[in-house]
Amino acid sequence: MNGEREYSERDQELLTMIGMDEEQALADERMAESETIPDDLTGCRSSS
């Protein structure tokens, strides 16, 4: 996983339950934490 984040067995089970894989979870995490990428989680949109 490129040394980023190790998911526990329980985390992996939960991701499977909702139809996500680790890469998608990491991408969503990066998007949610980014202050420059617009996302639907906070309603923030870039003003370009």
Whether residue 36 lies inside any domain: the answer is no
Residue 5's domain comprises: 1-25
Residues in the chain: 48
Q: Give the span between the Cα atoms of 17 and 38, in whole angstroms.
A: 27
pTM over 0.75: no
Q: For the segment 1-48, what is each residue's pLDDT rounded down to a tens digit?
A: 445 678 899 999 999 999 999 999 998 888 888 878 776 766 555 554
Distances (CA, A) of 7 to 1, 12, 44: 10, 6, 28
Q: How far is CA 11 from the centre of its chain?
A: 13
Total structural domains within the chain: 1
Whether residue 11 lies inside any domain: the answer is yes
Amino acid 47: pLDDT: 53
Amino acid 1: pLDDT: 42
Whether residue 33 lies inside any domain: the answer is no
Q: Give the span between the Cα atoms of 43 and 32, in whole angstroms.
A: 11
